[in-house]
Amino acid sequence: MIDERIRYTVHYAAEHSPFYRHWFHENNINPDEIRVHEDLISLPVISGKTIREHQPPNTPDFEFLSAGWDDIFSIQETSGTSGIPKSFFLTWEDWKRYAEKYARSFVSQGFLKGDRIVVCASYGMNVGANTMTIAAQRIGMGIIPLGKCTFESRTLKNYKPTAIVGSVFKLLRLGRRLAAEGLKPSETSIVRLVAGGESFADESRAYIAEQWGCPVYNTYGSTEGTMCGECTQVTGLHVPEDLVHLDVYDPTLQAFVRDGECGRGILTTLLPVGGKCGTLLINYDTEDTTVVLSRERCGCGRTHMRIINPQREAETVWVSGNPFNRVDIEAAVFQPENMEHLTGEYEAFVYDGDSPNETILRVSLECLVPDQCDRTLVEEQFITRFLKYKHGLAALYHDGALQVHFNFTPPGGLELARLKGRPKRLVDRRQS
């Protein structure tokens, strides 16, 4: 079925997408030669930059628009956190496919007809909140469309929702605020949480699960069409392989990596034969890294392949050939002993050292009560976890080539507290 949909999708692109029509011609690609999904390796990879370069103001028209305006149900945009927002056009068929992907995740996480879910994702130009809403309708769930996690505690008391969808830090702050009001999160009606919007560490997930007294399930979605989710087995995110094709490429973007190896997630829209699509993507670089964990049947019964939680390539920093990601910082922050003293809010900056071969990692941590924070314990716990699986970084640290400096602040004392939108928690400020 995947190969059949690959063939149809490629032909649809050649016929209906101005970008792909020119792209195939310029790259001497014969759509008839793309027969099976392995043939996608012969096609060039595109990126978000490619989309921006082929939409206004760079071009007169939206060249990725792949359906007639009469078929377009909505116009969406990405958040623009990594540049000018990318424009996406969705037919009603697209929306139904998006909702199908999310509905599968909800069901695999134990949601049933009659569940009531608070949606803390923004109802706007992003697709997330509306996708969840349509998916909930298909299942028979009720939606409380608040859009933010700053809602009043009366929402929980009066409507007794059974779940909340939001990012890890939204759920963290909500739980802390409820506790300050005298309402323990674990004593509310919530029986499960769904975290999404950004990658996170297992440690932060475990902390939130403990605070709320319920499981926290992971989802990974985008306007580009990826929508993967964990099931109750929590053994990786299921990829809806009949609706979206996900390959994992090596760093050169020239070859596939073997299952179990880390690589870049490359996305291709999959259209059923006869289907239409408002914005079609072939070999789209998500700029996220992931690993295929298994293609075997999951304990939940599903047969779709499972991947690890993708991490943003833009949130990875390299020091003398050794990488670490924002999630590595987060894992070190959320050590159980640390969380007796910290709120969980953090930010990290990488600077040049005094000598050419020296790098400084400056980690700022928000304390519950700064005067009572055991800073020595927190620093030791952080260093131990941060270097545990990073042998190259550990060697640099013990040689003095990598220094880790700590800064402890009261609540609201971090730089990111003064910024709007989703903050960057790991920033490389080196000049070289």
In a 3-state reduction of DSSP, which class is residue 158? helix
Domain boundary residue, one of 251, 279, 309:
309
**352 versus 432: which is more confidently predicted?**
352
Per-residue pLDDT tens for 390-408?
999 999 999 999 999 999 9
**Full-model pTM:** 0.92
Are 263 and 330 part of one and the same domain? no
288 and 305 share one domain: yes
Give residue 80's pLDDT. Answer: 59
- Give the integer Cα–Cα distance in Å for 389 and 197: 25
Query: Residue range 163-176: average pLDDT?
Result: 94
Clarify whether residues 418 and 302 are in a common domain. no
Q: In CATH, what number is assigned to the domain containing residue 57?
A: 3.40.50.12780
Q: State how beta strands 227-230 and 237-238 pair.
A: antiparallel
Q: What is the pLDDT of residue 90?
A: 96
Work out the average pLDDT over 111-121: 95
> pLDDT, tens digit, for every residue of 13-54?
999 999 999 999 999 999 999 999 999 999 999 999 999 999
Domain match, 293 and 355 both:
no
pLDDT tens sequence across 338-385: 999 999 999 999 999 999 889 999 999 999 999 999 999 999 999 999
Q: Do residue 305 and residue 324 come from a single domain?
A: no
Domain that holds residue 238: 1-309
Pair 200, 293 in one domain: yes
As a whole number, mean pLDDT of residues 236-260 equals 95
d(CA 265, CA 253): 10
Q: In Å, what is the CA distance from 325 to each residue of 100, 220, 372, 390?
A: 31, 17, 30, 11
Give me the torsion for CA of 239, 244, 250, 252, rounded to 10°. -160
Q: Is 28 exposed, middle or buried (0-12, 13-18, 19+ CB in 10 A)?
A: exposed
Is the omega angle on the peptide bond into residue 57 within 30 degrees of 0, that is, cis?
yes
316 vs 226: CA distance, rounded Å = 21
My answer on whether 294 and 330 are in the same domain is no
Among candidate residues 255, 288, 309, the one where a domain is terminated: 309
Residue 281 has pLDDT above 80, yes or no: yes
Give CA–CA dist 204/178, Å, rounded: 18
Task: Identify whether residues 237 and 299 lie together within a single domain.
Answer: yes
Residue 345 and residue 271 share a domain: no
Encode pLDDT of 183-205 as tens digits. 999 999 999 999 987 889 999 99
Q: For 55-82, write each residue's pLDDT tens digit.
A: 999 999 999 999 999 999 999 988 655 5
Q: Which of 289, 309, 329 is the last residue of a domain?
A: 309
Q: What pLDDT score was predicted for residue 420? A: 74
Check whether residue 263 and residue 411 sit in a common domain: no
Residue 247 predicted with pLDDT over 80: yes
pLDDT band at 416 (very low <50, low <70, confident <90, very high): confident
Counting the structural domains of the chain, the total is: 2
112 near 103, Cβ under 8 Å? no
Do 53 and 153 lie in a common domain? yes
Buried b (16+ CB within 10 A) or exposed e, 243-267: bbbbbbbeeeeeebbeeeeebbbbb
Q: Percentage of residues in the chain with pLDDT exceeding 90?
A: 88
Average pLDDT across the chain, whole number: 94
The tens digit of pLDDT for each residue in 140-161 reads 999 999 998 999 999 999 999 9
pLDDT for position 126: 83
Give CA 141 to chain center in angstroms.
24
The verdict on 78 and 1 lying in the same domain is yes
CATH of the domain at 398: 3.30.300.30
Amino acid at 334: F
In 3D, which of 208, 159, 158 has the Cα closest to residue 186?
208
The answer for 247, left when phi > 0, alpha when psi is -120 to 50, beta otherwise, is: beta
